[in-house]
Amino acid sequence: MVQRIGGFRRKTRQKLSKSRRSKGKISVRNFFQTFEEGDKVVLNAEPAVQKGMFFPKFYGKVGTIKKKIGKCYKVLIKDGKKEKNPIVHPIHLKKIKV
* pLDDT tens per residue, range 30-70: 999 999 999 999 999 999 999 999 999 999 999 999 999 99
Q: Is residue 78 part of a domain?
A: yes
- Four-residue CA torsion sign, 51, 27, 78, 40: positive
Residue 29 lies in a domain: no
Whole-structure pTM value:
0.89
Range of the structural domain that residue 82 is part of? 37-95
pLDDT tens-place string over residues 12-41:
899 889 999 989 989 899 999 999 999 999
What's 66's domain CATH number? 2.30.30.70
23 is a domain residue: no
> What pLDDT does 76 receive?
98
Distance CA 52, CA 46 (A): 10
Residue 98 pLDDT more than 80?
A: no
State how far the Cα of 97 lies from the Cα of 65, in Å rounded to an integer: 14
Residue 27 covered by a domain: no
Task: Grade residue 75 by pLDDT with cuts at 50, 70 and 90.
Answer: very high
| CA pair distance 40, 27, nearest whole angstrom | 21
Q: Considering its fold, how many domains does the chain have in total?
A: 1
Answer for the pair 72, 88: CB distance below 8 angstroms, yes or no.
yes
